[in-house]
Structures are given as C-alpha cells and as structure tokens.
A and B are shown apart, each in its own frame.
Chain A
Amino acid sequence: MNASAATAQDSGVAASAALSLAAGRAASASGAAVQARGLSVRLRRERHRIRSLREYFVESVRGRRLAPEWFEALSSVDLQVEAGGLLAVIGANGAGKTTLLRALAGIVAPSAGTVAIRGRVAPLLELGAGFDPELTGRENVFLFGVLLGRRRKQLRDAYASIVAFSGLGDSMDVAIKNYSSGMVARLGFAVATACEPEVLLIDEVLAVGDEAFRAQCSERIAGLRAGGTAIVLVSHDLSLVEREADRVLWLDGGRIVAEGAPSGVVARYLGRETAR
C-alpha cells in the first residue's frame, strides 16, 4: 500500500487519477505491475441513447421508460503482468479489449473487482488523438505529454530523445497538420514511451507505419521492458503478438476464453476463428 501510494503521489496526474477514480483500486500485494481481480465493467448499450434535452422531454411526456440498458463489457477478468512483462490481448471486435485497457488506465470505473497498478500508466492513443493539428510538433510534445501525466520539466529533459526517436528533427517547428500519418505515429509513440512509464497500454497503434518504424518500436518496447516497464498490448496482428508477447489473453464477449503462452493461445484462437 505504501509503495503504491508513494508512486501515485510523485508520478503526477495519471496514477493518482487512476487511484481516485476507481473505488475498487488497491495496491497489488504480489508486486505485479498490473493486476486485475474479478474485473467487471458495465456499459450502456447504444441502441437508444438520448442525447438532447428536447428528446428527453418528449420521451418523458410520452411516458416512455428512460432507464438505460446496461451490458457487461467485461466479466470477472483476472490478469497479472509482472514488471518487464508483455501481455497481449486478442479477440474479435467488440470482445472488450479496448474496455479492458480503459479500465486499466482508470478511465472506466469497474462495476466489480479491482485493478491495481504499480506506478505510472502511459496509455498509447489511437493515432494522433491528443495532438492538435494546428500546433507544431514541438508544441504537441508538451501538450500531449502533459495530458499523459508528465510534468513540463520532465518533457523538457526528455525532449532531445523524443526528437531523436521520432526522427523529425527538421519538422518539429512545422504544424502537425502537415505531417504524414507515419510522422504523427512516430511522434505519438515517442512521447508516450518517453520518461519510462511503469505501465504502458498500447491499443492497436503499432499496425501503422512502415517496416522501419515497426522495427524501431519493437526495439523501444524491448528497451522499456528491460527497464522494467510492464506492457499490455491490444492487437489484431497475430504475428506481432507471437513475436512480442510472453503471455496472451483471449477475450470474447467480455470474458476470458484462454490465457497462456502465445503460440498455444494464438493457435486455438486461429482454429476457432476459421471454424466460424
């Protein structure tokens, strides 16, 4: 508990935010960097969602029940990632993979169960989310970095290495709207992985970019893991999963179908998918 409280305090927004948002959060006793126990998340179904005051009044006057429909996006998920470990999450669209990452990041409150994170979480967004197209690369490093929970000072210190990783030395003073998608991906990855987060959540971002960028990302991921960063990676790229992960979690309908060594789980997943 002490360790967790302390890291939350000095790691700034991300971790403390996560701690205060989810009531079910507790320190991990085992020393795992990421741990979820019986994690369930309930979300609203999109079918008929009232988004305007006008609609709300009309429906109320008609006497229609406005009670929302809920569904379990995640049901009793247990997982654990040790420092330096990489857990890949696979599954069909709508299986709950992204919801799992959002729960781990502390954005979605669990309806049951607990999430324990040791240290600072860096979520890696969909391409370019968090960047402002009107701002230059340099300005976006600070904007996005601070939103991810870093201090401005930390980013100033890490700035040179961020630029070096992104390979955008000449373009840092150009507005992002003039960047190619590959350039945006490079910069986003460079900022998210700067300042060595204890936990890195990656959602399907590595699929973009050319071969060189992917190789560079693999190298950075290996470096972070060697430094003790725990990674949870969501991906449809099964060869990437088999190459990088040391554990694989297969989700379907919000439940764990299988969890274990990459080759076994991926093979079963492929078997099931082709059988459909």
Chain B
Amino acid sequence: MTVTLDGLHVLVARALTVRYRRSSLGFAWSLLQPLMAMAILTAVFAQVFVSIERYPIYVIVGVFVWGFFSLTLVQAMDSLLGAAPILRRVAVAPALFPLAVVAANLVHLLLSLALLAAVGAAFGLVTLSLVPAALLALLPLGLFTAALALVLSAVCVFFHDVRYFAEGILLIGFYATPVMYPPSIVPERWTALLTLNPMVWLLAPLRDALWAGVCPDLSRLFTTTLAAALAAAAAALVFQRLSRRFYLYL
C-alpha cells in the first residue's frame, strides 16, 4: 500500500477545489478570516507592542503559519474517519488522506504568503530577495506538521475523542507561541518553555525572511529541518504500525 503522487494529486485537487469553490470569491474569500484576525490583533495590540515595527506584517505571518498548523491538524484528525467508506472497500494507502490534508493546506499557505510578499514588496515592507529563504523555511514546518498529522489521524481512528483534547492543546499552543506578541515579553523563567515549543523554531525563520527582512540563520534552519524530518520518519513508522489494525475500527 504505497502513497502515490497521483493519489496525492487528486486528493489535494479535491480539497482545494471544494475549499475555493464554496464561495464565489474563491481564494480571496478564504483570506478574509486571517485578514480580519490581523486587523483585530493590530487594532488591539499595535499600541501595546509598540516595540514591534510593521506590526500588521509581524502578526499576519504568525496568523498564517499558526492557522496552517492548527487547521491542518484538525482536518487531519477527521481525514481517516471521513474516508472510512473508501478505506472499508478499497485497498488504498490510508496515509494518503492525512498527507493530502497537509499538502493542500501547504499550498494554501504558500499562496497566502506569496500574496503577502507581493503586496508587502509593493509597499516596500517585504524584501523579495528573501523569498527563497522563506520557501526553505516552509520545509521543516511542512515536515513537522505532517508528522503530527500522521500520528494524530491514526490515533483518532481508535479514540474519537482525542480530537477534543488536541483542539484544547492547540488553543493553549496559540497563546504559548509568539503569534501576536514578541518573544521578548516572555518572563525569564518561562523562556525555557519557548525553547521547547517546536512552533517557535518553525515560525522564527519565516518571520526573519518576511517581516524582519533578514536572512534566517541557515545552520539553525538546517538543524530544524533535520529534526522535523526525523519526526516525520518516526511518525511514518508509527502510522504504519497503527494502520495494520485500522480495518477493525473503520
């Protein structure tokens, strides 16, 4: 049971078609929610965090990245249960479904960030020469999200309520990650927690490139990518083990 490119292709096409077709404005409509989040957060916090230059850009990068991460995991947790009618009857690789969720959301994130880069560059707020670095920084983010998506989707086959626990943890994660605030306001005794939060590591290089206008530390980016790749490999093994018993539950 192998994950084929054709399989990913049709499932990603389906996810994006359904997502953008639901509204007449398509992709533009899907940006409304993050843009509103940006507007609200800017209105509320731009005065609080005056130290952050170009606060709207700072916050929208965070909102896009966090939105990608949490929406992917929530959708992934439904992906296998939603595909149950197919998985019951067709010998198709179950990993296709969570992985397609990751890929579709990654495409959406890419489009969102590309639009941000284009608009930002037009106003002189984003340095276009750093866009390749931002693309590089998407790699560990995608790998790490895929790792969690695989494990969580598989566990949800056995325990449906894991979804609710995970959603709670994601809510905590939103506040534990510097999406709307600068890492510098975190008190000294809590900074260890920031170091332990993978999303801090994954978000930082994207902010470097798209907001701060500096090239991310490439050796650190490499280490992060390696760690994310190891997590993804371990997750693939766990998924493989768990998927052998899916037929009893789906």
Contact = CB atoms under 8 A, between A and B. Distances in A.
Contacts of A148: 90
A76 to B, nearest CB: 20
A53 B160 CA distance: 8
B91 interface: yes
A13 B14 contact: no
A14 B13 CA distance: 21
A233 to B, nearest CB: 15
Question: Interface centre among B10, B13, B159, by most A CB within 10 Å?
Answer: B10
A54 B247 CA distance: 22
Contacts of A203: 89
Contact of A147 (B1, B90, B244): B90
A130 B86 contact: yes
A15 to B, nearest CB: 8
Interface string A42-59: 011000000111101000
A13 B89 contact: no
B85 A151 contact: no
Contact of A56 (B88, B89, B92, B159): B159
A44 B18 CA distance: 36
Interface residues of B, number: 32
B7 A21 contact: no
A135 B86 contact: no
A267 B244 CA distance: 40
Nearest to B161: A52
B17 interface: yes
Given A21-B1, A139-B17, A146 B85 contact: no
Given A12-B4, A53-B165, A152 B9 contact: yes
Contacts of B13: 139, 142-143
A129 interface: yes
B18 A135 contact: yes
Interface in B143-164: 158-162
B92 A17 contact: yes
A108 B247 CA distance: 6
A51 B160 contact: yes
A126 B89 contact: yes
Nearest to B246: A107
B4 A53 contact: no
Contacts of A129: 85-86, 88-89
A264 B10 CA distance: 46
A19 B37 CA distance: 49
Nearest to B244: A109
A70 to B, nearest CB: 10
Interface in B80-132: 85-93
B11 interface: yes
Contacts of B195: none
Interface string A120-141: 0101011001101011000100
A18 interface: yes
Contacts of B91: 13-14, 17-18, 21, 105-107, 121, 123, 149
Interface string A1-40: 0000000000011101110110000000000000000000
B205 to A, nearest CB: 35
B90 A107 contact: yes
Nearest to B96: A147
A143 B18 CA distance: 13
B6 interface: yes
Contacts of B54: none
A17 B86 contact: no
B248 interface: yes
Contact of A13 (B1, B18, B85): B1
A130 B90 CA distance: 9
Interface string A91-132: 000000000011001111100000000000101011001101
A73 to B, nearest CB: 11
A151 B10 CA distance: 10
A13 B2 CA distance: 6
Contact of A143 (B10, B21, B85, B160): B10
Interface of B: 1-2, 4, 6-7, 9-11, 13-14, 17-18, 21-22, 85-93, 158-162, 165, 244, 247-248
Interface of A: 12-14, 16-18, 20-21, 43-44, 51-54, 56, 101-102, 105-109, 121, 123, 125-126, 129-130, 132, 134-135, 139, 142-143, 146-149, 151-152, 203
Given A13-B91, A147-B92, 4 more contacts: A53-B161, A125-B86, A129-B88, A139-B13
15 contacts: A12-B4, A13-B91, A14-B92, A51-B158, A52-B160, A52-B161, A54-B161, A56-B159, A102-B247, A105-B90, A105-B91, A129-B85, A132-B18, A142-B13, A146-B4
